[in-house]
Structure 1
Amino acid sequence: MTPPALSTLVPKPESPPEPHHFLHAIDAGVSSAPSLIVPKTEPLPESPRFPTSTSSVIVPKLEPLPELPHLPLETYASSVSCTAIACAEAIAPAAFNKKQKRSCELVRVANVPDEVLQRDAVRRARTTYECLRSLLGRQRSLPSAGKLSRDSPKRCRPDLDAASIMGRCGLWLFRDKRIIGSIPGILVGDVFLYRMELCVVGLHGQVQAGIDFITANQSPTGKSIATSIVVSGGYEDNFDCGTELIYTGHGGKAKNVFRQRDHQKLERGNLALVGSYNYGIEVRVIRSANSDRSPTGKAYVYDGLYKVIKHWTEPGVSGFSVYKYKLVRIDGQGKAGTELFLHAERLRNGSFSEKLSSYLTNDLSKGKEKLPIVLFNDIDDNREPMLSEYLRCSRFPPSVSACKSGHGGPKNGGCGCLENCSTNCPCILKNGGFPYDENGILVKGKPLVYECGAGCECSSSCPNRVTQNGLSYRLEVFRTNLSEWRVRSLEFIPAGHFICEFAGVVLTKKQLELESVSGNGLVYPGLIPAMWEKWGDLSDVDPDHKPCSLSSLPRVAFALDVSNSRNIACYLKNSRCPNVFVQFVLFDQYNESYPHLMIFALENIPPMRELSLNYGLE
């Protein structure tokens, strides 16, 4: 039986009502407490001065709305005014109280006072999730992992268990479903590898359902309102062309079946999308994209905010009635993340013939790297990177290179393992265990990682030789609008993966004193903050967690001269909120004062995103 048309379910008055403001603008500010960001606001009529919702956010009281028909977007959009508030729950998620009564007021977060602080909060939650998920996957049978998980040992879903543990520890962000619009600390184009990760950061609160929404009893209008959707291609009637999207409602399908088996009903998420249309509420859109770098074969990309501009019901491909929604992307958000995925793929395949004149060289490394590095400049005629000598790895002085005393073993101080190293290998014991997992991901940041080197008898495919194989991802050096050279990735780089070495000519302290070297061409590794401490830090979920410390290590006191000889990493942008970090590694010589500077991804880096490093400079 065909369900009734949508227009019969929403009463239409004789004349459209006057628009109502149910989100009032207020000024944003920072409270005196460093871990709590709340707006400074004057008391509102008939509104409590302090928050009554579980999100610990001060929000204005919403004016009641009458029953509304569907209205043109232009007519009603003016009634949804932006609220300039910062959400305290992102910084202090433990304050979330399930028993506290919710208010029925929507919250839109905008004009966040400290975006770096919000980004760090999101990154910390995501890093905790990924490292915990990886730990549970590797060591489920070991006591260190077993004490973290109270779930049934029969279920082998580290992605679900990690989220469950973080939830019990109060580490989920933005748990209040009444938050509409953008989520602070999450950028358009951010990539997530698991659906549960979307829940942890508050981007989409449904584990399986494609539509997340505010229920009617939480809504100021008494009607449900959609806040986010995941476009995963699970329905045969979807149509997606990027800026416009025809989204098929949920229901009418059997589990794991692509074709419709029954009519869809106007309920739950389907009804909520109608509410978003009626009240002009923007919807967060997350798209699923295929990725061979993901353990699941797919990635979830946040593409920004869309508006529902039309909805209807029609017979679907299988003959059953389905609900359709047309969404249009809001302008001014930059390119969508999935669009950049396709753009980067075309660049890697060399299908942009019309831009060949802007590519100065197809390989800046001149064959020294296993992957070519393109040089792109559509700003001016500068070709400076091509004038420098390209180094695949750092060049150490003879006095340092002569230090060959390794970790103990039969040959030149190296290990005597056959093929791949085992847990009893002296190199592995020196690290306190394997530093990388089976996928080459850094298990935990350390003051120093000891890899197998030339003095070891293990094969070149040994899992303890991750950083010795050179550049791991396709990168591009490009000219910015500020006439600076920077680096961006041409493919998706998952968090924890090795990218490349930061290479230059190593100058000892004595050489620095004797030689006259321009300060502009020097990089001091000792100044670079120890961002490696953040990778693998599980102190938020495990009270027994102890950070790695090697008090006996000597201080890194050398400098890298990159004025005339360098590699691609020397063009990394300096940032207080970086997406890569430096891990010190030894392998070809064993002078602990002179390690290699290896660059690892601190977060999931989508294609075409600029790589940035904190150099420790003011």
Structure 2
Amino acid sequence: MVENIFQSYNLVQFEAARLYDGDKDCVGYVLLVFNLLRRQIAQLEDTKEATSGQSRRPDLKTGNVLMTKGIRTNAKKRVGAVPGVEIGDIFFFRMELCTIGLHAPSMAGIDYMSVRISQDEEPIAVSIVSSGGYEDDVDGDDGLIYTGQGKEMDQKLERGNLALEKSLHRGNDIRVIRGIKDVGNPTGKVYMYDGLYRIQESWLEKGKSGSNVFRYKLGRLPGQPEAYKTWKKIQQWKDGTITRFGIILPDLTSGCETLPVSLVNDVDNEKGPAYFTYSPNLKYSKPAPRDPFVGCACNGACLPGNENCDCIQKNGGYLPHIVNGVIVSQKSVIYECGPSCQCPPTCRNRVSQGGLRVRLEVFMTKDKGWGLRSWDPIRAGAFICVYAGEAVDDSKAQELAGENEEDHIFDGSRTYQPVEILPGDSNNAPNLPFPLVINARNAGNVARFINHSCSPNLFWQPVLRGNSKEFDLHIAFYAIRHIPPMTELTYCYGMVPPEKADCGKRKCSCGSPKCRGFFY
């Protein structure tokens, strides 16, 4: 099954140089393939798990396949930074760390390599994963006390412990990956790359279990961007122990959303965006020019593999989302259960109707006006929000366009490049049944603040809900890749036909290395 999925991708094989020494594009490509394949395997196994009750690990299967097939990068072990991996990057699976060369062991917390000293070789540590697996671990903003390997008996100065001791004397840099509780999955973790550290001292002491344990004090090298420190600061904002600097409103939505959305400006003195009515819904001023999609007649929740569920069958026989509302892949259209379906509001096939799932803030950018970002880490494929406002026809959109630099218009009639595309998989571009245009100038939700980027981290997905009264089409946004906290959320605004290429063109300030220099 896994082999069949993999073969369908027609993947690019890395040349030797990129396999052993990657860059940002290589790392991004490997992680994109990892997450697409993992989600597809999880979707297929969803049905088996529902019937057998067995728990499976699609992440391990995916990692093993990619490593075997050579879809990996930075395979050569090294001391110091890994090409293409930035401080603050996040991961949701240990196998992701393996495939990009950040931390090779899929289980062990210490990664090490041998170096030659005169005629002999000795181990040195190159990376550690600090995730609170040992009861004695202590962390701080710019340092941590790490417990050596070996839990149930006295630890020995061998393997990873010996490598850490040798690194203390050599003074080499060690990559530190912090394991953090995943707010979206109580049993899972988020792994954040926190930069380079050095071991400052070590000692042997009695642990809480009564066994002798090695302890290593590590200090973070100065001059590096904040990562774990930012995450801890966000937790304090949430707990109310400190106040977010520059906050204007604690909740821009006035309770309209499931989670508050802060309004923040720590750049200048502007007190907020132009007045608008916050509304989480899309309203049609007149009926859409299509027949309704009626939906399903399931009495309970729509379960994976249910051949009698009309919504599941319209989606090709599978639920379009796996656990936690993560979309499997971009589709021309997704069929969700809706008002006319008999399943409950908690049905897994109502992802876009459940409100916000991550804590967002509207913030003042340095050069693009107001933008949107998240306090929480976001995993690839996660649902962000829908685009709310008023559905208008194309002629009205042309009238609105250009009247205001911040026109807050979503234009589905433009041309959009499929963003999760792999070679041989080019048929999943959004395909709207009619040119849906949404005006969010006077009324809308957080989506009106999502800025354009030529290298976006979000994609939009048409969602058709089961509704016997009207054609119920919506636009939902999902994450293309993992998005660290406090990273601006962006999507591509699309391209206009050649005959309109000179109308409404604006200078782009997205800052991407692949920036076109303009957008519409």
Task: Give TM class, smaller chain.
Answer: 0.7 to 0.9
Contact 2:42 2:322 in 1 (8 A): no
Query: Residues 471-550 of structure 1: matches in 2 within 5 Å?
Result: 471-482=356-367, 484-512=369-397, 518=403, 520=405, 521=407, 522-527=409-414, 529-531=416-418, 533-534=420-421, 548-549=427-428
Contact 2:296 2:337 in 1 (8 A): yes
Bigger Cα Rg: 1
Structure 1 unaligned residues grouped into runs of 5+: 1-34, 38-54, 58-86, 92-117, 144-153, 255-260, 408-412, 540-544
C-alpha separation between the residues in 1 aligned to 2:135 and 2:310? 56
C-alpha separation between the residues in 2 aligned to 1:528 and 1:569? 19
Report the equivalent of 1:151.
none
Report the equivalent of 2:448.
570
Query: Residues 337-486 of structure 1: matches in 2 within 5 Å?
Result: 337=228, 339-353=229-243, 355=244, 358-385=246-273, 387-400=275-288, 403=290, 405-407=291-293, 413-421=294-302, 422-433=306-317, 434-482=319-367, 484-486=369-371
Report the equivalent of 1:160.
60
Pick 1 or 2: higher relative contact order, CA cutoff 8 A, min separation 6. Answer: 2
TM (norm. structure 2) is 0.80
Q: Can you list the C-alpha shifts for 1:523-546, whole angstroms capped at 9, x where unaligned?
A: 433446344534xx6x7xxxxx85
Structure 1 218/569 Cα, relative in aligned 2: closer, same or farther at 3 Å? farther
**Overall identity of the aligned pairs, in %:** 35
Structure 1 244/318 Cα, relative in aligned 2: closer, same or farther at 3 Å? same
TM (norm. structure 1) is 0.68
* Off by >6 Å, runs of 4+ in structure 1: 218-221, 588-594
Structure 1 530/212 Cα, relative in aligned 2: closer, same or farther at 3 Å? same
C-alpha separation between the residues in 2 aligned to 1:505 and 1:219? 73
Greater CA deviation, 512-521 or 125-134? 512-521
Query: Residues 175-190 of structure 1: matches in 2 within 5 Å?
Result: 175-177=75-77, 179-190=78-89
The alpha-carbon deviation at position 303 of structure 1 amounts to 1.0
The residue type equivalent to 2:30 in the other structure is A
Q: Can you list the C-alpha shifts for 1:538-586, whole angstroms capped at 9, x where unaligned?
A: x7xxxxx8565599x5675344334333321222233233222211112
The alpha-carbon deviation at position 264 of structure 1 amounts to 1.9
Query: Residues 137-176 of structure 1: matches in 2 within 5 Å?
Result: 137-140=42-45, 156-176=56-76
Query: Residues 32-431 of structure 1: matches in 2 within 5 Å?
Result: 56-57=16-17, 89=20, 118-140=23-45, 156-177=56-77, 179-216=78-115, 222-251=121-150, 253-254=151-152, 261-265=153-157, 267-294=158-185, 296-314=187-205, 316=207, 321-337=212-228, 339-353=229-243, 355=244, 358-385=246-273, 387-400=275-288, 403=290, 405-407=291-293, 413-421=294-302, 422-431=306-315
Structure 1 89/492 Cα, relative in aligned 2: closer, same or farther at 3 Å? same
The 3-state SS of whatever aligns with 1:127 is: helix
C-alpha separation between the residues in 1 aligned to 2:210 and 2:342? 65
Structure 1 250/523 Cα, relative in aligned 2: closer, same or farther at 3 Å? same
The residue type equivalent to 2:29 in the other structure is R
Greater CA deviation, 202-211 or 452-461? 452-461
Structure 1 512/189 Cα, relative in aligned 2: closer, same or farther at 3 Å? closer
Structure 1 608/220 Cα, relative in aligned 2: closer, same or farther at 3 Å? farther
Greater strand proportion: 2
Structure 2 unaligned residues grouped into runs of 5+: 1-11, 49-53, 495-517
C-alpha separation between the residues in 2 aligned to 1:456 and 1:321? 61
C-alpha separation between the residues in 1 aligned to 2:323 and 2:136? 39
The residue type equivalent to 1:290 in the other structure is K
Instruction: Let me know the Cα RMSD of the aligned residues.
Output: 3.5
The alpha-carbon deviation at position 398 of structure 1 amounts to 0.6
Contact 2:385 2:477 in 1 (8 A): yes
C-alpha separation between the residues in 1 aligned to 2:84 and 2:450? 22
C-alpha separation between the residues in 2 aligned to 1:300 and 1:427? 35
The alpha-carbon deviation at position 609 of structure 1 amounts to 2.8
